[in-house]
């Protein structure tokens, strides 16, 4: 079932690695086609490939896995929203709701042309409230500083905190087997290969990734808790934080769809 949005959704999914953020993003986009995903990692990789000045600067840091400077990341996201026509600098606003001369409304070709002046008067940008200017940010913001900066320009209006118990995530990861040449992933509890330890398609052996060990994942999950806490706190203060609990993606999706539709599709 496809659902239309009635207002712009600007959302972020926060969830531990292994909690199924990617799955929920894909499902949301399939059900609400006006949503699109903007991934900071993908944008960076595309800048690196095209050898832009930003890409050249970013490349070395990305190789080490270190985070890039907050202002650089905010600039990257603003630039992307700008390219998509969802965010325009204040000075070159051709059609705005409070800038339109009497009778000039007919110049607007679609609702996409209506830009709502930002309530933050310090902002130099205006963002679109059209449902087609809806997005899920993936990988951004990663820090409270990034969240604060982007909120002053284009406020995020829903942050979904996906909570899956740690032991459930660990259990899922430790049951994961991969066919390395193809990247096919199996799980012995819910997506088992036909023959244990053997790839369905090629008949070749499956392996467990060295970094899929409980020790590595416990450390990774702890790190996630530490870094996400200030972000969640920021959005809780803004009253846009919504938490969903569930042990699997299939348990979480219907709850997420209902809440999302309640907020953006009525
Ligand atoms: P990802 O594909 O999201 O894992 O991002 C790949 C790399 O890009 C990360 O390891 C960081 O070096 C950089 N990166 C992506 N998003 C951000 C962000 N929001 N803040 C800082 N660095 C980022």
Give the model confidence (pLDDT) of 250-264 as tens digits.
999 999 999 999 999
> Ligand 1 centre and the CA of 108: distance in Å?
38
The yes-or-no verdict on residue 33 having pLDDT over 70 is yes
Instruction: Give the pair of three-digit tokens for residue 134.
Output: 């809806």
pLDDT at 99: 43
> Ligand 1 centre and the CA of 41: distance in Å?
5
Output b/e per residue, 217-243; b: 16+ Cβ within 10 A: beeebeebeeebeebbebbeeeebbbe
Q: Is 45 annotated as a binding residue?
A: yes
Pairing mode, strands 115-117 and 35-39: unpaired
Tell me the C-alpha to C-alpha distance, in Å, between residue 184 and each of 122, 133, 176.
49, 34, 10
Q: What is the pTM of this model?
A: 0.81
Q: Is 146 annotated as a binding residue?
A: yes
Ligand 1 pocket by Cβ (under 6 Å): 40-41, 44, 61-62, 65-68, 73, 139-142, 146
Give the span between the Cα atoms of 176 and 212, in whole angstroms.
8
Determine contact, residues 132/215, Cβ cutoff 8 Å: no
Residue 92: pLDDT band by 50, 70, 90 thresholds? low
Give the model confidence (pLDDT) of 157-191 as tens digits.
999 999 999 999 998 888 889 999 999 999 998 89
Residue 96: pLDDT band by 50, 70, 90 thresholds? very low
Percent pLDDT > 90 in the chain is 72
The yes-or-no verdict on residue 91 having pLDDT over 70 is no
Out of 15, 40, 150, give the residue to mutate to test ligand 1, the one with the largest number of ligand atoms within 8 Å of its CB: 40
The yes-or-no verdict on residue 97 having pLDDT over 70 is no
Could you tell me which CATH class the domain 10-264 is placed in?
alpha beta
Residue 109: pLDDT band by 50, 70, 90 thresholds? very low
Give the span between the Cα atoms of 257 and 262, in whole angstroms.
8
């Amino acid at each position: 079932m496809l659902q239309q949005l009635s207002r712009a959704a600007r959302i972020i999914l926060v969830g531990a690695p292994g909690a199924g953020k990617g799955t929920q993003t894909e499902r949301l986009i399939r059900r609400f086609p006006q949503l699109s995903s903007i991934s900071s990692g993908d944008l960076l990789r595309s800048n690196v490939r095209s050898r832009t000045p930003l890409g050249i600067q970013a490349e070395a840091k990305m190789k080490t896995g270190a985070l890039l400077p907050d202002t650089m990341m905010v600039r990257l996201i603003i630039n992307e929203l700008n390219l998509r026509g969802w965010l325009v600098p204040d000075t070159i606003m051709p059609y705005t709701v409070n800038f339109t001369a009497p009778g000039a409304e007919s110049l607007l070709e679609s609702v996409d042309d209506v830009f709502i002046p930002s309530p933050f008067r310090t902002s130099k940008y205006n963002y679109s409230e059209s449902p087609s200017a809806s997005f899920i940010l993936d990988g951004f913001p990663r820090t409270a500083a990034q969240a604060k900066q982007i909120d002053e320009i284009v406020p995020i209006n829903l942050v979904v905190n996906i909570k899956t118990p740690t032991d459930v995530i660990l259990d899922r990861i430790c049951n994961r087997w991969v066919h390395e040449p193809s990247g096919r992933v199996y799980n012995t509890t819910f997506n088992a290969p036909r023959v244990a330890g053997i790839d369905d398609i090629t008949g070749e052996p499956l392996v467990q990734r060295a970094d899929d060990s409980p020790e590595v994942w416990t450390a990774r999950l702890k790190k996630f808790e530490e870094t996400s806490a200030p972000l969640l706190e920021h959005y809780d203060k803004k009253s846009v934080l919504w938490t969903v609990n569930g042990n699997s993606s299939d348990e979480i999706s219907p709850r997420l769809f209902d809440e999302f539709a309640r907020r953006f599709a009525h």
